[in-house]
Structure 1
Amino acid sequence: MINAVIFDMDGVLCDSEPFICEASVDMFRMRHGVTVQPTDFHPFTGMGEDRFLSGVAELYNVAINIKSDKKFTYDRYLEIIKGRLTPLHGTADFIAACRARNLRLAVASSADRIKVEGNLKQIGIPLSHFHAVIDGTMVELKKPAPDIFLLAARQLGVLPAECVVFEDAVSGIEAARAAGMYAVGVRSSLNHATLSQAGAHSTVQDLSEALAAIATLETNNKLNTTNRIEG
């Protein structure tokens, strides 16, 4: 039985990727005099901003100071998203439905706390709606390692098998499966085939389809349990 829902942030609750890419491009140009492309960051999506920035720095052979350059990037990002970042379709309604059903809720993002809280504030979702908020600074190993989701389950007080994770990135789907959780891919940036190949049990276009996805997972789980008993 599913008793908890864990959300990735970017590409699930909101689409902040264009804005963090914009801020990161600005950082490389303004602090290092190097012109990078937004697409350079795509292979590092979902791995946390340390890898997001250092991965591109390696591509261009740029020596960055991760602490100061990341701070610059986040400061720039928080300015960029004002009045521009909005929740993805179905987000508010799905969270309200989960709360009405007394499901445990968590955000588990590889980003730092400043970005997680900045995003939630901008899209109008209070931190108090979640029973746990996990950011990338709270675990040593980032996605695709399962650590961030396992920590979320512990803070929620549920077993991993009772959790469903909504993720838009391959690394996040792999992390959820490695944690022993249900994984639902959100097709905000990747298609059904790519997310399924990564291990997603199912995919949705956005969170307006999430309740139906959970119902299907629970039905399939009951059928599998019945078949095992009868077999």
Structure 2
Amino acid sequence: MSSIKAFLFDLDGVIVDTAIYHYQAWRRLANELGFDISEEFNEQLKGVSRMESLDIILAHGGLTLPDEKKAELATQKNQWYLELVSRMTSEDILPGVANFFSQVRKANLLTALGSVSKNAPLILERIGMTEAFDAIIDGTKITKGKPDPEVFTKGAAELEVAPAECVVFEDAVAGVEAGKRGGMFVVGLGSPDVLTQADFIALSLDALTVDEVLTRFSN
């Protein structure tokens, strides 16, 4: 059994919750196209890349558009989203995150961010957490979105650790699958009914300690 050397974290829903901002921007886009999307529908978009999300939304609205128009819409949605997240501060960090990261540092574990969002560096800067990560893998560094494991395997490679020495923290089904496909131990943050592939599930980082994670892994 390998020992754990690194913790890899998704951003949305784990460190901060920007889902509401994504939803507001996507809903505005859908409304301009003549239909609506619900918060329940928005759950399908968690952990999914921007263009894939747009395809899901267009299918929902029964629309087929040329790639050029789709690129234009995705850019517009991102501009609206950036207007919202640019107002974020450290107050937007989810409960328990600061305490958990303090424990991570005391345990001498490496950290990486594994987010498909190209806006991840901006968000980390706004909430003051850029320095909390030894490696940052975002949407600009990958060619495949989750559930492909690339975002996590690249994080492990940048930290110079083996996948089997990594724990992934994810709140989305696609992210949990990505971690498992990457050969990593995955802690799901959320509902056990949803994150069925995770090795271990907790409500949030606030409900976890580093020792508990390491104990679960060694078992």
Give the TM-score of the pair, scaled to structure 2.
0.87
On the 8 A contact 1:86/1:122 being kept in 2, the answer is: no
Identify the match of residue 28 of structure 1 among 27, 30, 38.
30
Instruction: Report what 1:143 is aligned to.
Output: 146
Unaligned runs of 5+ in 2: none
Q: Deviations over 1:47-88 (max 9, x none)?
A: 111111221112213327333222222221122232587111
Instruction: Report what 2:84 is aligned to.
Output: 80
Identify the match of residue 102 of structure 2 among 93, 96, 101.
96
Matched, 1:7 2:9: yes
Query: Which residue type is aligned with residue 167 of structure 2?
Result: V
RMSD: 2.0
Query: Which residue type is aligned with residue 116 of structure 1?
Result: A
Instruction: Report what 2:192 is aligned to.
Output: 192
In structure 2, do the counterparts of structure 1 residues 202 and 79 end up closer, same or farther at CA, with 3 Å as the change threshold? same
1:45 offset after TM fit, Å?
1.6
Q: Deviations over 1:158-183 (max 9, x none)?
A: 00000000000111111111111000
On the 8 A contact 1:91/1:207 being kept in 2, the answer is: yes
In structure 2, do the counterparts of structure 1 residues 25 and 120 end up closer, same or farther at CA, with 3 Å as the change threshold? same
On the 8 A contact 1:41/1:56 being kept in 2, the answer is: no
Q: Which region of structure 1 is more displaced relative to structure 2, 128-137 or 158-167?
A: 128-137
Matched, 1:153 2:156: yes
Question: Quick one: distance in 1 between partners of 2:105 and 2:96?
Answer: 14
Structure 2 SS opposite 1:14? coil
Question: Quick one: distance in 1 between partners of 2:160 and 2:115?
Answer: 18
Matched, 1:128 2:126: no
On the 8 A contact 1:6/1:166 being kept in 2, the answer is: yes
On the 8 A contact 1:202/1:213 being kept in 2, the answer is: no
Question: Quick one: distance in 1 between partners of 2:157 and 2:134?
Answer: 11
- Give identity over the alignment, percent: 30
In structure 2, do the counterparts of structure 1 residues 193 and 28 end up closer, same or farther at CA, with 3 Å as the change threshold? closer
Instruction: Report what 1:45 is aligned to.
Output: 46
Instruction: Report what 1:217 is aligned to.
Output: 216
Moved over 4 A (4+): none
In structure 2, do the counterparts of structure 1 residues 66 and 129 end up closer, same or farther at CA, with 3 Å as the change threshold? farther
Structure 2 SS opposite 1:184? strand
In structure 2, do the counterparts of structure 1 residues 210 and 165 end up closer, same or farther at CA, with 3 Å as the change threshold? farther
Q: Deviations over 1:89-121 (max 9, x none)?
A: 111121222123321111111112xx2123223
Question: Quick one: distance in 2 between partners of 1:129 and 1:83?
Answer: 17
Structure 1 SS opposite 2:92? coil
On the 8 A contact 2:88/2:123 being kept in 1, the answer is: no
Question: Quick one: distance in 2 between partners of 1:218 and 1:139?
Answer: 28
